[in-house]
Amino acid sequence: MTHTPLPRRSAEEQQRVEAALRELFDQRIRFNEVLGLRTVSMDPQDYRMAFDMRPDLVGHYLYGRLHGGVIAAALDAAGGNAVMLGIADRHGDETAEQVMHRFARLGTIDMRIDYLRPGLGAHFVASAVVTKLGGRVAAVQMRLVNDSGLLIATGAAAYIVS
């Protein structure tokens, strides 16, 4: 809660941090690639990932709705990434390497998903807002909307940070 004003990293280093995080989010998490998740907003206050409907992401083949596990996976990914962006912002004096080390110590403690409406649509956006970024625990709220803007699911998760 107390922030002594530290020297912020340079604009160049900030770009390195963001590039490293984006590569991490979109290319180093294997299962995220299976889902086709890709970052579409790096705003720490409104982090967003998008993905397209695909036949292998549905539950029962007759109904063509997203499997609940796909929704859970997308919201967990969006939530964890939003926390990482918050950590990178809080430790604004650290290099990209230092920030990336913090990722290794981030973990989901638990998560709740509310399935509000059938997961129908051509593509989907998972967004996340950090409601608490403490020294040990972070809390995030997530939302999944389809391409019509319909709210498909909401989520809440806690993450261990350091």
Q: Are strands 123-133 and 47-52 parallel, antiparallel or unpaired?
A: antiparallel
Give the distance from CA 7 to its chain's centroid: 27
Work out the number of other CB atoms within 10 angstroms of the CB of residue 38: 16
Query: In the complex with a second copy, which residue's Cβ is closer, 9 or 84?
Result: 84
CB of 43 to a second copy, least distance (A): 20
CB of 7 to a second copy, least distance (A): 29
Binding region for a second copy (CB under 8 A): 24, 28-35, 55-63, 67-70, 72-74, 76-77, 80, 103-104, 107-117, 131-132, 136-137, 139, 141, 151, 154, 156, 158, 160
CB of 20 to a second copy, least distance (A): 13
Helix or strand run (H / E) with residue 38 = strand 38-41
Query: In the complex with a second copy, which residue's Cβ is closer, 9 or 127?
Result: 127
Alpha carbons 10 and 7: distance in angstroms, whole number = 9
Query: In the complex with a second copy, which residue's Cβ is closer, 19 or 137?
Result: 137
Show Cβ contacts of residue 5 under 8 Å, excluding neighbours closer than 6 positions: none
Show Cβ contacts of residue 104 under 8 Å, excluding neighbours closer than 6 positions: none
Helix or strand run (H / E) with residue 77 = helix 68-90
Query: In the complex with a second copy, which residue's Cβ is closer, 17 or 35?
Result: 35
CB of 41 to a second copy, least distance (A): 20
Query: In the complex with a second copy, which residue's Cβ is closer, 9 or 99?
Result: 99
CB of 127 to a second copy, least distance (A): 14
